[in-house]
Structure 1
């Protein structure tokens, strides 16, 4: 376990992404405890620029943008991780069931997966959210979770079908290993990298989609999240009146967590994919050789002088 973590940290993309994500998680957990402020309370005049008292200024209602950003981080990350977990559980269960058992089960699950993949994702979410009405962030998470599992199920099914043809799997079946042990002991550990990609990608997608839905007014305007911050900034014409800080704070927060999760995903992909890991090693060796050649050329030039 410790060796795996060291290999993980040696990858620059994975290490940087992990630091960014952990920083967001720390803010989400400890920020509201340390700040102990009411994000919906009025602390100053409307659209006060950032100063010593209000680090990120105030909104049109005189609310502290910094306090809303801290509390919004907790809400947005909680929704992202909850929906990501829901997507992973549904996609993994259906993908393994389809790939391992095959037959009628595979046909039914594959049909449902194809139907969900064909339906445009964002319009479907907009229709469902509009039908439900102004929903809480966690209702949005459930809506995203139950409509975004198809891609993960398809990839998990394909990998499960590949693993099922391996010799050690067939040997375990021949000696009479039960299906549940085959799935949890033989198959699931070999699917962890794909499950990790699915989870990280689902969290990224959920956070951005939640912000989009709430920005369009389909969320609960009384909740505090990055999306509702952008929604209120749009309604108050923050950019038009010069209150750029009201838009900048949530926009940078969404972009930052997106960059962190993407770097983490790229790093995990390079670590688990031998081809990408080999290409990275070759590139590092080429850079080292180029640096060595420059040093040798500089040494010869000094000796000639």
Structure 2
């Protein structure tokens, strides 16, 4: 069926959003909305958890290894500690490590990657060499070594080590993206008008890398959270500071699975899975914004096609019979 010019114009108007809305398109996707909703719930837990906890997480009682009840919603441990209180109090440590490490690693990757890609020459070679060095440094073994020499392995220390060992990959990605942007027409026009190098980077290059930077930040947060929980689970981190990994550490140490105390480790595992899923959904939403091939057909486009009474076809001219 032939497509008239008016129908093509209608499709173009619907499928091409306004420039002001295009920047935040990924925030309107279903995956992103669900991801932010779950993440917001955990952020609320991290902020208000110590006040919402019904008991002191370290407080022992006579209710030893009791299943969930009205007094203890998530049951108790082998020493009578309330599992719900441990989950609520431990949420803050998990999110602090994740977001602090993600923010620090993102800043480092932007500074090194964008500078190397835009400046080029000797600066690019030096910064790329530094990135390659940090790229091969293993994060978890380094944290284990640091923890063995430091008495108090605080959350900030763990976040700093994770950030130092995880920024290099993001820097390599941003360098490659910057190399593809540095010769664009609008960048050349900014150079021709006499704008300084750093002004071009801040106002011409970085706005076009926002989605890539956000995706790298979310990925680093996921890695940092899983690393923090892993370190607490194997007993490397300070087990006196509550987080979800600490809950799993004590459950494994006291053989909760062998005793049938599923309530001791299932809530912490579900929290880890839900938080990871929320961050993954946000990352998928950003990926769909960056890569148009991943975008699904919008509801508005479907409605317009139904209204005009045709399906998508090639916009090439049909051969005359």
Q: What TM-score does the superposition give when structure 1 sets the normalisation length?
A: 0.86
Aligned position for 1:183: 201
CA contact (8 A) 2:137 2:165 kept: no
1:151 has 2:169 as partner = yes
Q: For 1:238, what is the secondary structure of its paired residue?
A: coil
Conservation of the 8 A alpha-carbon contact between 1:134 and 1:218: no
Inter-CA distance 164–5: structure 2 relative to 1 (3 Å threshold): closer
1:165 aligns with 2:191: no
For the residue of structure 2 that corresponds to 1:268, the secondary structure is helix
Q: 211-220 vs 121-130, which deviates more? A: 121-130
The alpha carbon displacement at 1:148 in A equals 0.6
1:203-235 deviation digits (Å, cap 9, x = unpaired): 111111110011111100100101111111111
Decide whether aligned partners of structure 1 residues 36 and 244 sit closer, same or farther in structure 2, where only a CA change above 3 A counts. Answer: closer
SS in 2 for 1:39: coil
Q: Find the aligned partners of 2:85 and 2:22 in 1 and give their Cα distance.
A: 38
Correspondence for 2:234 among 206, 216, 220:
216
Distance in 1 (alpha carbons) for counterparts of 2:28 and 2:200: 33
| Deviation sequence 1:132-178 (CA, Å, 0-9, x none) | 45612221111101111011100111111111011111121122101
Determine if contact 2:138/2:165 at 8 Å carries over to the other structure: no
Query: 1:44–1:63: 8 Å Cα contact kept in structure 2?
Result: no
Moved more, 110-119 or 80-89: 110-119
Match in the other structure for 1:19: 37
TM-score, length of structure 2 as denominator length: 0.82
Q: Number of aligned pairs?
A: 288
1:281 pairs with one of 284, 297, 307? 297
Kindly indicate whether residue 57 of structure 2 is the aligned counterpart of residue 39 of structure 1.
Answer: yes
Give the stretch that moved more between structures: 243-252 or 196-205.
243-252
CA 1:43/1:165 → structure 2, altered by over 3 Å: closer, same or farther? Answer: farther
Alignment partner, residue 12 of structure 2? none
2:140 to 122, 139, 143: 122
Secondary structure at the counterpart of residue 297 of structure 2: helix
- Uncovered stretches (5+) of structure 2, i.e. residues with no partner: 1-18, 306-321
2:78 counterpart residue number: 60
> Which structure shows the higher helix fraction?
1
SS of the equivalent of 1:40 reads coil
Give distance in 2, aligned partners of 1:131 and 1:123.
13
Q: Report the 3-state secondary structure (helix = DSSP H, G, I; strand = E; otherwise coil) of the residue aligned with 2:265.
A: helix
